[in-house]
Amino acid sequence: MRKGRELRLAGIGRAAVLLLLVAANVWAWPWSRDLVVQMITRPQQYATVPPPNSIPMGREVQVSRELARAQLRNPLTASPHSLEKGKALYETYCLVCHGPQGRGNGPVAGGAMLPADLTSQRIRQQSDGELYHTIRHGLGSMPAYYERLKPEERWQVVLYIRTLTPPPAETRSARAR
């Protein structure tokens, strides 16, 4: 009788263990893997890729420098108000490197950091879209201003940069020596 009781308890024990294993697997599957098997989104990364030719809602369309050069056009006109705003923004964000006349001689310029002369022929030949792209994304040691300046403000800075005049010819030739 004792042996029969032991066999019965052993059978119940095995059944209980088997039931626990099955229950644990059923309970854990697939919910225990939810945090392991999932799409990982890193900071500054989109969760999904938008469909081709979709129009972003509330965001700027990001374009390459080449596309900006060819396709971006300044939607603003050079009114006194927009030039005044552009000058104020230039003095806040650009003057420290590019200087008051845009000649790359601001208070922090020098040494390894050589800001562009915004009155040079090279810069004057760039399209408004290319200047806008440079302000938005930065270039070389110039930081990107996409977080600090709204699109309209960037265009106002471009308008103001267009008003900067190059130095007289004799000053340029003396500086080249």
Answer yes or no: do 77 and 151 share one domain. yes
Residue with tokens 């999932």: 38
Answer yes or no: do 19 and 70 share one domain. no
* Domain presence at residue 92: yes
Answer yes or no: do 113 and 169 share one domain. yes
Answer yes or no: do 108 and 164 share one domain. yes
* Domain presence at residue 123: yes
Residue with tokens 């208070």: 107
Q: What pLDDT was estimated at residue 124?
A: 94
Q: Record the tokens describing residue 156, joined without a space.
A: 């106002």
Answer yes or no: do 10 and 93 share one domain. no
* Statement: the pTM of the whole predicted model exceeds 0.85: no
* Domain presence at residue 42: no
Answer yes or no: do 20 and 76 share one domain. no
Q: What pLDDT was estimated at residue 48?
A: 64
Rounded CA gap, 28 and 51, in Å?
A: 35
Contact by Cβ (8 Å): 117, 123: yes
Rounded CA gap, 38 and 35, in Å?
A: 6
Domain residue limits at 13: 2-33
Give, in order, the Cα–Cα distances in Å from 146 to each of 30, 36, 84, 149: 42, 34, 21, 6
Answer yes or no: do 18 and 74 share one domain. no
Query: How many distinct structural domains can be found in the chain?
Result: 2
Using alpha carbons, select from 117, 116, 154, 129 the residue that is nearest to residue 65.
Answer: 129
Residue with tokens 């396709």: 71
Using alpha carbons, select from 145, 131, 121 the residue that is nearest to residue 65.
Answer: 131
Q: Which amino acid is at 138?
A: G
Q: What is the pLDDT along the chain (177 residues), one digit of tens a residue?
A: 566 667 676 778 788 888 777 776 666 666 556 666 666 666 666 556 667 777 777 777 778 899 999 999 999 999 999 999 999 999 999 999 999 999 999 999 888 788 999 999 999 999 999 999 999 999 988 999 988 999 999 999 999 999 998 888 755 444 544
* Domain presence at residue 58: no
